[in-house]
């Protein structure tokens, strides 16, 4: 079932899908996640903030549908398939390669901004500091990020996701 197109969908992810929440944040989607959130609070927050709930809990999913809250119940347990399914159901046709100007903090969901790397000298190992050019800081929790080898791996996953979004159903 595909949902209407959402220009900038906002998600809230239940405790069972923490890695999915982190990936959605990296891709630039406003994604609320707390590992200890209870169902009642999740429902209230989804309603108050008009968020799409992503859950693997079938009972919670049924409650959400009965409450007419938009909810997604991924059918797979494989991360790539879950991400493709979520994006497809929200009619999102592609994900941006990282870094992109919409990337969010994987810890708190705050927006990342580019800063001068010298401002983060105390937060980055020296050998890494010497090799990097671009540094980001979360506007909410001040966590520092940089383009390391993990960005290449994430971008490979982004390319795989985009390939499957181009031809949904191939995985």
- Are 98 and 151 in contact, with CB atoms under 8 Å apart? yes
DSSP line for 141-169 = T--EEE--HHHHHHHHHHHHHHHHHHTTT
Relative to beta strand 52-54, strand 11-13 is: parallel
Q: Specify the pLDDT at position 168.
A: 57
Average predicted confidence (pLDDT) for the chain: 89
Q: Is 125 in a helix, a strand, or coil? A: coil
Q: Specify the pLDDT at position 4.
A: 43
Q: Specify the pLDDT at position 1.
A: 42
State whether the Cα torsion 68-27-73-162 is positive or negative. Answer: positive
> Can you read off the two tokens belonging to residue 14?
């239940």
- Are 87 and 23 in contact, with CB atoms under 8 Å apart? no
| pLDDT tens digit sequence for 18-76 | 999 999 999 999 999 999 989 999 999 999 999 999 999 999 999 999 999 999 999 99
Q: How far, in Å, CA of 52 to CA of 9, rounded?
A: 7
Q: Specify the pLDDT at position 152.
A: 84
- Are 86 and 54 in contact, with CB atoms under 8 Å apart? yes
pLDDT for 6 beyond 90: no
Q: Specify the pLDDT at position 169.
A: 47
- Are 99 and 136 in contact, with CB atoms under 8 Å apart? yes
User: Domains of the chain (ranges plus CATH)?
Assistant: 11-99 (3.40.50)
> Can you read off the two tokens belonging to residue 24?
């959605």
> Can you read off the two tokens belonging to residue 117?
């790397």
Q: Of 6-20, 67-81, 157-171, where does the model show the most confidence?
A: 67-81
Residue indicated by tokens 């010298």? 118
pLDDT for 102 beyond 80: no
State the pLDDT confidence band at 170, using cuts at 50, 70 and 90. very low
Supply the DSSP symbol for 111.
B
């Amino acid at each position: 079932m595909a949902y209407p197109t959402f220009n900038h969908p906002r998600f809230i992810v239940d405790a069972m899908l923490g890695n999915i929440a982190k990936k959605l944040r990296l891709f630039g989607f406003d994604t609320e996640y707390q590992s200890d959130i209870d169902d009642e609070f999740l429902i209230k927050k989804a309603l108050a903030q008009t968020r799409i709930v992503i859950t693997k809990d079938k009972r919670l999913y049924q409650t959400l549908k009965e409450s007419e809250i938009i909810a997604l119940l991924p059918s797979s347990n494989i991360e790539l398939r879950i991400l493709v399914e979520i994006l497809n159901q929200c009619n999102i046709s592609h994900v941006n390669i990282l870094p992109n100007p919409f990337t969010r903090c994987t810890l708190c969901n705050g927006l990342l901004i580019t800063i001068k790397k010298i401002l983060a000298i105390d937060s980055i190992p020296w050998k890494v500091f010497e090799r990097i050019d671009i540094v980001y800081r979360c506007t909410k929790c001040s966590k520092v990020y940089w383009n390391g080898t993990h960005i290449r791996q994430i971008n490979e996953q982004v390319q795989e996701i985009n390939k499957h979004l181009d031809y949904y159903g191939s995985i």
